[in-house]
Amino acid sequence: MPTLATLALFSVAVLGLMVSPGPNMALVISHSLSLGVRGGLASAAGIFVADLTMTGLVCAGVAALFAAWPPAFDALRWLGAGYLVWLAIKALRTRRTAVPTAEAQGSLRRAFEAAIGVSLLNPKALLFFLVFLPQFVDAARGPVGLQLFVLGLTLSTIALLFHGLLGLGAGAATRLLRERGPSLRWLDRLQAGLLFGLALRLLLLERPLRA
């Protein structure tokens, strides 16, 4: 098991990475714009599930196999970008002034699923887990797989708390903006713009020269 000192250092490093703007942060804000606080929290929960999944892939050695086959990077990149463009188009086609309860529940489920999909289809995220977690592993402290799992769980929990707070803040701000006028169309356009920007960012990622 990692020492408390290692976990403390790891947590500080993770927090430093969290505050830097990135795709997950943009995704939480995007869903907060369209669905309010609950949309941001649903996205945070989806990212948490994706982070745990990537932790499992690293522990099982699947991430290493992925990194050993560079074309997989391009395949995931294009799939992820295509998925983001599809979400952006859906946001542009949205026309509403109020969301019925049943529709809102379905939208929250889709936000949760979208966060999982976007995170898992981001090859950079998987490579990050593959490169970042092992830096804090000490073979003398016990099974490497267990240490990787503890580190991944720690990272996932910190990310859940951070993105949850971000969703609360962004959702509250969105609610205030919605109360100022009946038209929500510009919020949908802003959400679509964020999603298109994420898709472009993903397409511009450079494939690693080596794993």
Task: Tell me the pLDDT tens digit for each residue of 106-137.
Answer: 688 888 998 998 888 877 787 778 878 888 88
Q: Which residue has the higher pLDDT, 177 or 186?
A: 177
| Rounded CA separation 207/124 (Å) | 9
pLDDT at 104 over 60: no
pLDDT at 182 over 80: no
| Rounded CA separation 123/173 (Å) | 31
pLDDT of residue 163: 94
| Rounded CA separation 96/206 (Å) | 38
Mean pLDDT of 89-95: 67
Mapped onto helix, strand or coil, the DSSP state of residue 2 is: coil
Q: What is the pTM assigned to this prediction?
A: 0.76
Q: How many residues does the chain have?
A: 211
| Rounded CA separation 90/118 (Å) | 15
> And the tokens for 177?
């903006």
